[in-house]
Chain A
Amino acid sequence: MDVILFYILAFFAVAGGLLMVSLKNPLSGAFSLILSLCSLAGLFAMLHAEFVFILQVLVYAGAIMVLVIFTIMLLNLKEEVLHEAPVGWMRAIFTATLCAAAAFGAIQIFGHVEPQGIQVAPEFGNMETIGRSMLSDFVYPFEVISLILLVAIVGVVLLAKKVI
């Protein structure tokens, strides 16, 4: 059951990513990326990561992708703006081969981990555990992240203003 579910979710994640990279219209690409992100959310759920699963659906597939789609629709791109120079296929295949070799080589060489994960408690990865960890061990990074988000908000408001 787990195996079949993993392969279905992995298939949709990879298919969504491939469609996003290959489709010409960015709006179709955004919807394929949402498919990919939702499949990844399912994989997070399979890994007992309840908190990350909720964040993935809420923040990634929800907030960030809504922002992207909003921008695409706001720009109202015409056909001639979307025209791109065609990709050199030889170069693309060469890069893909190199990337695949690098990735699988790295996992083969450095991935000396036991194939089976250990059993975890039922409360592993839920809100309470992560919340406690975030406000005890990771309290300084947590504060810095809030500062980064504040700076990002101010920067976006400044950038999007018509006249500075």
Chain B
Amino acid sequence: MAPIGIHHYLYLSAILFFIGAFGVLFRRNLLVILMSIELMLNAVNLSFVAFARHNGTTDGHVAAFFVMALAAAEAGIGLAILVMVFRNRTSVQADDLTLMRD
């Protein structure tokens, strides 16, 4: 088998990103949508770290750290909104949140 290079990591990153995008597009459960976003952010982190290893600089690691901090903030706020929605509507389905539509 060929030795592992940056392309392997980039392909894996793309696959994971599109699995996450698929979850956001096709699932209606808000919890699963939030977790899919986490998976997408992680796929991006993998690209950052792979490029950092490839270029021999650690800037990509710092970028991955910033992405993780943003993901933590996003998860906290997203789950707080979800808890509030569930309290008011007793539902976690995106289809039930039509207040802005009709």
The interface of chain A, by Cβ under 8 A from chain B, is 2-3, 6, 10, 13-14, 17-18, 20-21, 26, 29-30, 33, 36-37, 40, 43-44, 46-49, 51-52, 55-56, 59-60, 63-64, 67-68, 71-72, 74-75, 77, 81-82, 84-85, 87, 92, 95-96, 99-100, 103-104, 106-107, 111, 113-118, 120, 124-125, 129-130, 133-134, 137-138, 141, 145, 148-149, 151-153, 155-156, 159-160
Contact = CB atoms under 8 A, between A and B. Distances in A.
Contact of B35 (A30, A59, A107, A160): A30
Interface string B7-31: 1111110111111111101111101
Interface of B: 1-12, 14-23, 25-29, 31-32, 34-36, 38-39, 42, 45-46, 49-50, 52-56, 58-59, 61-62, 64-66, 68-73, 75-77, 79-84, 86, 90-93, 95
User: Does more than half of chain A's interface fall in helix, strand or loop, or is it mixed?
Assistant: helix
Contacts of A149: 69, 72-73
Contacts, number: 226
B7, B73, B77, B81 interface centre (most CB from chain A within 10 Å)? B73
Contacts of A138: 59, 62
A108 to B, nearest CB: 10
A18 B18 CA distance: 10
A116 B5 contact: yes
A141 B75 CA distance: 20
Given A47-B53, A130-B65, 11 more contacts: A14-B12, A60-B68, A64-B38, A75-B83, A92-B22, A103-B17, A111-B10, A113-B6, A120-B56, A138-B62, A152-B76
